[in-house]
């Protein structure tokens, strides 16, 4: 086979791979399997899933206006169950899942691209203890006023792969989440307990 043909076949396989799952960290295993199947001649593609690089995010136009690296490199589409988020008393409260940048009035006044990008993500925790621990830290530092800023309940929910992109875990299992345009938080989250 000529080099050009090999290249074309390879490009074809790469395109096929990208169509089925994208380049997220969780897909490295898929990629490995994919290469193995390609070598052995056993090519079978899993059911087509929505590739995250074509996923339309909520605030997509705003995210694009920031330019490159928003959401940052390393953000992936991945199922996480359960997840926790601080919310106000009623799950239907529009503030609960609104990006901080678009709340009125927002506390953001800086304009750096990195900060603006971050302000369009929602804070989540991957464990209840972590969510409570961070809330206690902020309540200690801020006093009772923290309830008015962040709510007084913790909601439990789940995130599916097609629901958005999230960053790595930080202290207490905290992570930032950029929701997909199709994400319906009210279907996937419910009030679990008091924040503190």
Partner 1 sequence: MRNIIGIVKTELDFRSRWIGNLLEYEGPLLSLYEDTDHPDTYYLHKWVDHDNNANRWVVVPMSLAAIHALFHQQTTFRQVILQADHIHLVDFDQKDNALQVLSIDIADLPDAYLPMQDSFYSESIYTEFAENFFRDRSRAGPPDNSGKN
Which residues bind to partner 1, rule: CB under 8 A? 100, 104-110, 119, 122-123, 134, 137-146, 148-150, 171
Residue 155, beta-bridge partner list: 85, 191
**Which lies closer to partner 1 via its Cβ, residue 161 or residue 174?**
174
- Distance of closest approach, residue 147 Cβ to partner 1, in angstroms: 9
Other CB atoms within 10 A of residue 182 CB: 13
**Which lies closer to partner 1 via its Cβ, residue 7 or residue 149?**
149
**Which lies closer to partner 1 via its Cβ, residue 138 or residue 191?**
138
- Distance of closest approach, residue 90 Cβ to partner 1, in angstroms: 18
Tokens coding 178: 């950029």
**Which lies closer to partner 1 via its Cβ, residue 41 or residue 94?**
94
Name 182's Cβ contacts closer than 8 Å, sequence gap at least 6: 56, 162, 163
**Which lies closer to partner 1 via its Cβ, residue 75 or residue 147?**
147
- Distance of closest approach, residue 85 Cβ to partner 1, in angstroms: 10
- Distance of closest approach, residue 172 Cβ to partner 1, in angstroms: 10
> Strand order of the sheet with strand 80-87?
164-166, 174-179, 122-125, 80-87, 153-159, 189-194
Write a three-state SS string for 57-87: ECCHHHHHHHCCCCCCCCCECCCEEEEEEEE
Supply φ then ψ for residue 132, to 5 degrees. Answer: -70, -40
Tokens coding 158: 């789940």
- Distance of closest approach, residue 48 Cβ to partner 1, in angstroms: 35
């Amino acid at each position: 086979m000529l080099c050009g043909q090999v290249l074309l076949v390879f490009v074809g396989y790469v395109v096929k791979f990208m169509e089925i799952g994208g380049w997220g960290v969780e897909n490295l295993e898929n990629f490995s399997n994919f290469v193995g199947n390609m070598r052995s001649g056993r090519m079978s593609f899993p059911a087509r899933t929505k590739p995250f690089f074509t996923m339309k995010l909520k605030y997509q136009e705003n995210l694009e206006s920031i330019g490159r690296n928003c959401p940052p490199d390393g953000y992936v589409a991945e199922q996480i169950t359960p997840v926790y988020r601080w919310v106000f008393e009623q799950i239907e409260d529009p503030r609960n899942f609104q990006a901080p940048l678009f709340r009125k009035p927002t506390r953001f006044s800086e304009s750096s691209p990195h900060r603006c990008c971050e302000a369009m993500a929602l804070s989540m925790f991957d464990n209840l203890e972590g969510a409570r621990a961070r809330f206690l830290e902020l309540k200690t530092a801020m006093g009772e006023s923290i309830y008015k800023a962040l709510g007084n309940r913790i909601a439990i929910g789940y995130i599916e792969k097609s629901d958005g992109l999230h960053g790595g875990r930080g202290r207490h299992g905290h992570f930032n989440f950029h929701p997909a345009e199709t994400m319906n938080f009210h279907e996937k989250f419910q009030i679990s307990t008091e924040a503190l």
